[in-house]
Chain A
Amino acid sequence: MALLAVENVYKSFQGFLALAGVSLEVAEGSFHALVGPNGAGKTTLFNVITGRFPPDRGSVIFQGKPITGWPTHRVARLGLAISFQRAQPFASMKVREAVTLARLGYAGATFHLLRPLGAFTEALDAAREALAKVGLEDQADRRVSELPLGDLKRLDVAMALVAKPKLLLLDEPLAGLSRAERRRMVGFIRELLRREGVTLLFTEHDTEAVLELADRITVLHQGRVLVEGNPEEIRHDVQVRAAFLGGTA
C-alpha cells in the first residue's frame, strides 16, 4: 500500500485550472520527485496535500486514511511535514525556540500557558537533535532574522524533521541556494533521509539534482500527470523533452 495516494484531484482558481485530475502514489521509503515547468501545479498539489486548501474534487489518502479537506495542523500532526519553498521560519524567535515550538506543535502540546518553553526538556532535546542533523547546532542561540538564506532553508527543514515525519514534503529545497549550498543540501537529503527512513516527496527545478536523488519521478504539465517513471525512463521520454522544450506533447 502506498504511504500517500492522491486520487483524481482537481483544483481551480478563478477559472484557472491548476490541477486537472492528478493521481499519484508515493511508496513508503521512496524518494519521489514532482517535476514540471512553472505553473504545472506542483505547489498547488502540495497545498492540497497539506490541507492549505481543499481540492474541488478528488481525494488525498495518507496511510490508508482519507485526509481530504483536513485542516493543515491536523495533517501535520499525522506525521506529514513540509518545508516551504520560501523559507520564512518564525522571524521573532531564536533558532532553538522555533524548532522547539515546532516539536510541541506536532505533539499538539502548545496549550501550556504557565510553564516556560525552556522547561520542556523532551522538546528541547528533540530540537537540538534536529538542528544537529541539518548542521545548525552551533546556531541554536541566534535570532532567526539574522540567518542567511541557506541557513533559513536548513532551519525550515529542521522544523519539519523534528516531527520525526513519516512523509516529508520539500518544495524546491535548492531554490535560491548557491552552488556549494546545493551540493551540501543534496548530500544532506540523500544521506540523512535514507538513514532516517523518511519517505520524501519533493519538487525541484534542478534536473541534475532530481536525477541524482529521486527513485521515482512524476512529471506534471498544465495540471496533469504527463508521465511517471524511474529516472532512467524519464530521461529518455520524448513527451518530457517536448514539454520542457516548450512544445506540445
Chain B
Amino acid sequence: MAERIGVYVCKCGPNIGDKIDVDVIVNDVNSIKNVATAKSHNLLCSEDGIKFLKSEIEKEKLSRVVIAACTPKMYEQKFMKACEEAGLNPYLMQMTNIREQCAWVTPDKTAATEKARSFVIAAINRVLLQEPIEKKEIDIQPDVLVVGGGVAGMEATLTLAQKGRKVYLVDKSPCIGGLGARFEEVYQTMECAPCMLAPEMQDILQKENIETLTHSEIEDVVGSYGNFSVKIRKKARYVSEEACIGCGACFEPCPVEISNEFDEGLSKRKAIYLPFAGALPNVPVIDKDNCKKLKGEECNACEQACPFGAINFGDEDKIIEKQVGAIILATGSMLFDPKSIPTLGYGKFDNVLTGLQLERLNASNGPTSGKILLKNGKEPKSIAFIYCVGRKEKGYCSGVCCMYSVKLAHLLRDKLPDVKIYNFYTDLCLPKKEHQRLYNEAVDKGAKFIRSDGTENVTRVGKNLVVQYKTDSTKKKVSVDMVVLASAVEPDESTEKIAKLLDIPLDEQGFFSEEHVLMKPFGTPLEGVFIAGSCQGPKDIADAVAQGGAAAGRILSKLIPGEKLELEPKVAEIDEDLCSGCSTCITLCPYSATHRDEEKKIAVVDDALCRGCGTCVAACPTGAARAKHFTKEQIFAEIKGVAK
C-alpha cells in the first residue's frame, strides 16, 4: 500500500507565521511523492490543533505524519499521544523544529523559508523510513534500598515503607540517625534533635517491612531500574543483635580505651561500645582493630560480663544479597578538616574546636554531658567563632555554617550568660525565612558580629588564644578562651567509592552529580538510582528531609507493586547475521547493556539496560548494531534533506 504522509506546518501565531512563508512550504511539499496532504495551522498545539491533527489522520487515512513547529522539547509528547489516539503508531510521526532553530534565529524571511523547507523535506525523507515501535514493559521488584540512615535516608525509608513496601536501610555506622542525631538542638526551632529524631528511628527499627542493616556497606550492584541485585557486606558486630538487650554491662570491664570518633575525639570509648548514649539500635559493636581478643591477646572481659551470652567472638562478615527495584543514596557529608589551614591552630592548640566538636560538648549525650568546658575543666569566658573555614579551599559556600554558628552562639549565651562571643565573618549566609530573625536574636543576646577580611590567625599567648583579624583595613586582635571553626561541609568519605561502584558521576566538588541540577536534583544519570540529603551538596535538615521525601515520591509513582515498568523504546538492537562478535560495542557501552552470547558468539543488547545513546551503533564495524528510531538510513535521509 502506498504511503500517505500528512505534513502540518504550524504558524505558531505570528512566531512562525510572520518569519517564514508557510504557504510556500505547504505548496512546495504538496507535490512530493507520498505526501497525501500538506496544510498549515495557526496553532497546532492548541486543543483545536490537536483535534484537527487527529481528524486529519483519520480522514486522510495517513500512514505517517510530519509536524513542522516548535522544538520537540515542547510538545513532541503531546503530538505523539494525538497520533496514538488517532490510531497511528507515534514513532511514525516526525517533528521538525522551524521555530527555535529557524524562525527565531533567521531575520531574513526568504532565508528562513528556505531553511524551514529543507527541514520539512528532511523530515519527509526521514519519516518514510521510520518504523513503528511498540511499548516494552518489564516486571519489577518493588522493594527499595536506602543507603545512609541520616535524616534524608530516614525520611525516604519511612515514606516508602508506609504502605507495607519492603525497604532495606543500610548504614555503615553501628547506628542510624546520621549527623543530626549527634546535635543537641537544631536551628531554626532550637528543638532537641534526639527528641525530634527518636520517634522516627524507633519507627524504622520497629516496622516489620523495614530491614535495617547497620555496620554494613554496599559492595556490588548490578541490574537496572526495576531490577537491581545488590550485595551488602554486613560487618561482624561480634555482639548478637538477637541476644543483646543493650544493658551496657560489657563497657566497664573492657580494658581498651581509645578516642571516640562519634564525639569527634573529645571522649574515650572502649573497644566494645555504643557510638553515644541513646544510639539506635541499642546494640554495642566490637571494634575489631582495637579489641584485645580479636587481635589475638588474652581477654574476654566483655564476654564474662554479659549476662545474656550475647558476645560472639566467632562472628564473621556476611554478604547479603537483596533484589530491589530502586536505590536511594543518602550517604551524607562530613566537615572539612581545618588542619589543612595551619594558621587557625586546629590540632595544634587546645580549645580550638570545629563546630561539630562544640555540638558534641553541647550535647547531653556528649563527652561533658552538655557542659561547655575547656580542656582544663573550666567554663570559657570568651569564645571566638571563625566563619567560612574551608570555603576558599573547597570553592563553594556550604550554606549551613553561618546558621549553625549563629545557633551555637544562641545556645552558648543561654548556658553561659556572661560568655563573650565574637563572630568573625566575611559574608553571612542567612537565606531562609527564619534565619535573619535568629541572627538578630543572637545579636540582641549580645553576640558580637565582626566583619573581617577572612585572614584570621590564631596563636597562643600564655593560657589564652589570640585571634588576630583585619577589619576596616585595621589589624586588631582579641584574646579568648575558646575558638570555634565553622568548617565547610564536604562529601562523606564513602562517596567516591559508591560512585565507582554504581558508575555514577561526581560533580566538581565531589558530591553525587544530579540528573539535572534544577529539575531533577534528587535523580542521578543512572535511572532508578536517586540521591537525597547532603551527599548531593551541603544542606540543612529541612532540605535534606524534603529531598528524601522527593526521591521516595519519585519511586512510589513509578515502581508500583503488580505493575510493569515502561522501558526506553528507542534502544539499540543487534542483527545476529551481521554481528562478527568483535565485542567493540561491549567495551563502549556506558551502561553495560551489551553482553556476549558465548554460544552464538555474538553481542546481545539488554533492553532493560540500554538507554539508546547509539554509541555502540556508531562504532559497530559491520553495521550489525542498529539504533531504533535513529538508524543510519533514517539519518542519511535527513542529511539528504538538510544538506542541499
Whether chains A and B associate is no
Tell me the B residues contacting A by CB distance below 8 Å: none
Tell me the A residues contacting B by CB distance below 8 Å: none
